[in-house]
């Protein structure tokens, strides 16, 4: 299929992908550094072409609950925000997970805590993969590292969300949201018709025909025995994701003595640090995480048997590094490096950290 | 070929759009490109900068701290970015308002009196394209044919009538760039 070349910001790519992937509704509230998502939708006016709804809600709390409503009716619905806004959505996210609703939530992370700054950060890792909301739930968390992946992961997100009836988060950051790169876009996928929706989402609460029982969407069951069974079902789903849906990329790892573990913009910066390191004769590679949940535990465990050390590179005070350490089980040293609070580390700083913290030990 | 460029100046000077036109032109010429703006609370009169990478290979990091070329349009940006030019690299600046000119002896330094020329010719709107022309004279990373294609692709159609003036500005920039120091 012919692909069309565009030059776009990561945020615009999310919006473009929403329209082209047959999204039924976007509900959002503007916040830097992701405002171009809704801006691009407003410029493109998909309600005039595909019939997609684009609505600026009065708050992030409203947006996520509009998503809940749309998802309950079997629609492909999404929202996007940045860190403080995503914090406001946590209640909605755990309800979506509890009610087993497919939805797409994009977090273009900025520095925190609190209102923080508008500059890029990766300090929402814990919130994205360890809950954020209450209860034993998981979102499927994708970490795009390019404008192309911002686009592609919207399509992948729908697929996973509907396959598992589970919310999917695209965990990006201000740098990937703001950078403009080449983007190849494919043809438009039409929105589901009423018949397709009933076939693809037979559980949806979208009007009861005579030949089936009521579909009920809820996360509430006051009977604890039933609630435990429901939790078993959710956990089985998460284990299945861990079994089948882990995504990662190993870059320059064949002969690597040292490994950077990174995702998103830090993974891009680490790739440059690899070039700089290899010019100096340091055999370093990168394990780029694409899914943060499910986490590539097995792959990290394998690498931990082969390499002399790993450096977790993330724009946070050290969050993902905990999961890397758990997976490496002390078979090799695992250290953390990252600038945070909105400062982006440079490739030189990353290489220097590898030399200081791992190679010199 | 990989060219890592920082363009820095005042908000309102067309720093971001100059970077965008350069990136679009590179993309049209089948290069890999990235355009990474400083997106702080910049406004007219504040500082703005953008890093642009044009490469024959896949671009690793769009976020970089050392540059092959720095295109500098005010004193604050010169103070900030002179030291980030790789040894042997290029610094191109507009001397307007620059009271402490660059001093490094391990890089090539050029100047383009774009502000002066733009006001002389009444071309203030395409000031940034004069600067772009000067850069392309020093480092022809994209050819003129593709600058035109880049303009067609990056400008909204209602501004396409401005393209000839933009191309003229590129020519002007090419003709007025001066060597200050060459290795």
Q: Tell me, what CATH number does B12's domain have?
A: 3.40.920.10
Q: pLDDT confidence of A111, banded at 50, 70, 90?
A: very high
Among A176, A194, A212, residue at a domain's last position: A194
B154–A7 CB contact, under 8 Å? yes
Q: Are residues A135 and A272 in the same domain?
A: no
Q: pLDDT confidence of A3, banded at 50, 70, 90?
A: confident
Cis, peptide link before residue A113, omega less than 30° from 0: yes
Most B CBs within 10 Å: which of A44, A117, A180, as the mutation test of the B interface?
A180
Please state the pTM of the whole predicted model: 0.95
Q: Are residues A126 and A259 in the same domain?
A: no
pLDDT (tens digit per residue) in B20-53: 999 999 999 999 999 999 876 656 667 899 999 9
Q: Are residues A44 and A158 in the same domain?
A: yes
Q: Are residues A173 and A267 in the same domain?
A: no
B64–A5 CB contact, under 8 Å? no
A269–B20 CB contact, under 8 Å? no
- Let me know if residue A243 belongs to a domain: no
DSSP characters for A121-184? --TTHHHHHS-SSSSS---EEE---SHHHHHHHHHHHHHHHHHHT-EEEEEEEHHHHH-EEEEE
pLDDT (tens digit per residue) in A152-191: 999 999 999 999 999 999 999 999 999 999 999 999 999 9
Q: Are residues A183 and A264 in the same domain?
A: no
* CA-to-CA separations, A310 to A280, A347, B49, in angstroms, rounded: 18, 16, 34
Q: How many domains does chain A have?
A: 2
- Let me know if residue A205 belongs to a domain: no
Q: Which residues contact A71 (CB under 8 A, 6 or more apart)?
A: A77, A96, A101, A102, A103
| A32 at B interface, C-beta within 8 A | yes
Q: How many domains does chain B have?
A: 1
**What are the chain B neighbours of A348 within 8 Å (beta carbons)?**
65-66
Domain containing A174 — which CATH number? 3.40.50.970
Most A CBs within 10 Å: which of B57, B61, B153, B155, as the mutation test of the A interface?
B61
A-B CB pairs within 8 A amount to 63
Can you give the residue range of the structural domain that contains B16?
Answer: 2-181
Measured CA to CA, the distance from residue B95 to residue B101 in angstroms comes to 8
The residues facing A196 across adjacent strands are none
The region that residue B12 occupies, defined by phi over 0 for left and psi between -120 and 50 for alpha, beta otherwise, is left
Q: Are residues A179 and A297 in the same domain?
A: no
pLDDT (tens digit per residue) in A71-108: 999 999 999 999 999 999 999 999 999 999 999 999 99
Domain containing A266 — which CATH number? 3.40.50.920
Q: Are residues A29 and A176 in the same domain?
A: yes
Measured CA to CA, the distance from residue A167 to residue A206 in angstroms comes to 19
Question: Can you tell me which residue has the tokens 């284990």?
Answer: A239
Q: Are residues A179 and A75 in the same domain?
A: yes
Measured CA to CA, the distance from residue A313 to residue A260 in angstroms comes to 7
Can you give the residue range of the structural domain that contains A111?
Answer: 4-194
Helix ranges, chain A (H): 10-20, 36-44, 46-49, 60-72, 83-88, 90-98, 125-129, 147-164, 174-178, 194-200, 224-244, 264-279, 297-306, 320-328, 347-353
Q: pLDDT confidence of B154, banded at 50, 70, 90?
A: confident
């Amino acid at each position: 299929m012919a692909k069309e070349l565009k030059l776009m910001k990561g945020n615009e790519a999310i919006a473009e992908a929403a329209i082209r992937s047959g999204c039924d509704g976007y509900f959002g509230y503007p916040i830097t550094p992701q405002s171009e998502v809704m801006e691009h939708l407003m410029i493109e006016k998909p309600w005039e072409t595909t019939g997609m709804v684009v609505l600026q809600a009065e708050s992030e709390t409203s947006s996520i609950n509009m998503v809940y409503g749309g998802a309950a009716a079997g629609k492909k619905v999404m929202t996007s925000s940045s860190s403080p806004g995503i914090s406001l959505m946590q209640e909605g996210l755990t309800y979506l997970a509890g009610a087993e609703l497919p939805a797409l939530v994009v977090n273009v992370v900025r520095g925190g805590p609190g209102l923080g700054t508008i500059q890029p950060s990766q300090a929402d890792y814990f919130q994205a993969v360890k809950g954020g909301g209450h209860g034993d739930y998981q979102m499927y968390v994708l970490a795009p590292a390019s404008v192309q992946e911002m686009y592609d992961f919207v399509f992948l997100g729908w697929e996973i969300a509907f396959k598992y009836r589970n919310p999917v988060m695209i965990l990006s950051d201000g740098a990937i949201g703001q950078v403009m790169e080449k983007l190849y876009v494919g043809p438009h996928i039409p929105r589901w018709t009423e018949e397709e929706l009933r076939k693809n989402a037979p559980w949806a609460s979208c009007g009861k025909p005579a030949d089936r029982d009521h579909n009920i969407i809820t996360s509430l069951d006051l009977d604890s025995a039933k609630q435990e069974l429901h939790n078993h079902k959710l956990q089985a789903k998460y284990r299945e994701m861990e079994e089948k849906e882990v995504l990662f990329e190993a870059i320059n790892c064949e002969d690597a003595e040292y490994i950077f573990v990174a995702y998103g913009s830090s993974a891009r910066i680490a790739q440059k640090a690899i070039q700089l390191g290899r010019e100096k004769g340091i055999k370093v590679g990168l394990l780029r995480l694409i899914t943060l949940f499910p986490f590539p535990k097995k792959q990290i465990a394998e690498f931990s048997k082969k390499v002399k050390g790993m450096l977790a590179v993330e724009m946070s005070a050290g969050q993902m590094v905990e999961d890397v350490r758990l997976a490496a089980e002390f078979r090799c040293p695992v250290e953390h490096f990252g600038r945070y609070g909105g400062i982006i580390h440079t490739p030189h700083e990353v290489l220097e950290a590898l030399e200081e913290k791992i190679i010199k030990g | 070929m990989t060219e890592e460029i920082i363009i820095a100046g005042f908000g309102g000077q067309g720093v971001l759009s100059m970077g965008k036109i350069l990136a679009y032109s590179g993309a049209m010429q089948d290069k890999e490109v990235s355009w990474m703006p400083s997106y702080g609370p910049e406004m007219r009169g504040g500082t703005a900068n953008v890093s642009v990478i044009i490469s024959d290979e896949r671009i690793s990091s769009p976020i970089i701290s050392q540059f092959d070329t720095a295109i500098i349009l005010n004193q604050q940006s010169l103070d900030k970015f002179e030291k980030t030019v790789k040894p042997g690299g290029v610094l191109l600046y507009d001397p307007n308002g620059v009271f402490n000119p660059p001093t490094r002896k391990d890089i090539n330094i050029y100047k383009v009196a774009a502000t002066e020329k733009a006001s002389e010719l009444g071309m203030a709107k395409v000031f940034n394209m004069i600067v772009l022309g000067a850069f392309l004279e020093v480092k022809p990373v994209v050819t003129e044919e593709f600058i035109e294609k880049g303009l067609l692709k990056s400008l909204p159609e209602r501004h396409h009538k401005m393209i000839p003036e933009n191309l003229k500005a590129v020519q002007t920039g090419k003709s007025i760039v001066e060597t200050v120091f060459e290795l």
